[in-house]
Amino acid sequence: MITYILLALLVPQAMLGGIVLLMIYKPKDGWTNRVSHLRLIWLALAYPSEFTQFFSWLEKDVHENIKKEQ
């Protein structure tokens, strides 16, 4: 029973990750563009503080950003 619950929770997240990877690998301008997209995702995950100085909305919680716009 618990196995089915865990599968129900993990499968949608794995599918979303697969969609992200497919969108990156989808042929666009060329191989170097796909490599650049992968590097950008890796940098954003590995060094979030580097991106928050350029995008101040990344420092705040999503709820705070939405509340500010309303």
Q: What percent of the chain has pLDDT over 90?
A: 7
**pLDDT score of 10:** 92
CA–CA distance, 60 with 45 (Å, rounded to integer): 16
**CB contact set of 48 (below 8 Å; sequence gap of 6+):** 58
Dump pLDDT digits (tens) for 8-42.
Answer: 889 999 999 888 877 777 666 666 677 777 788 88
pLDDT exceeds cutoff 80 at 65: no
User: What average pLDDT score do residues 38-60 get?
Assistant: 79
Secondary structure of 2-62 as H, E, C letters? HHHHHHHHHHHHHHHHHHHHHHHHCCCCCHHHHHHHHHHHHHHHHCHHHHHCCCHHHCCCH
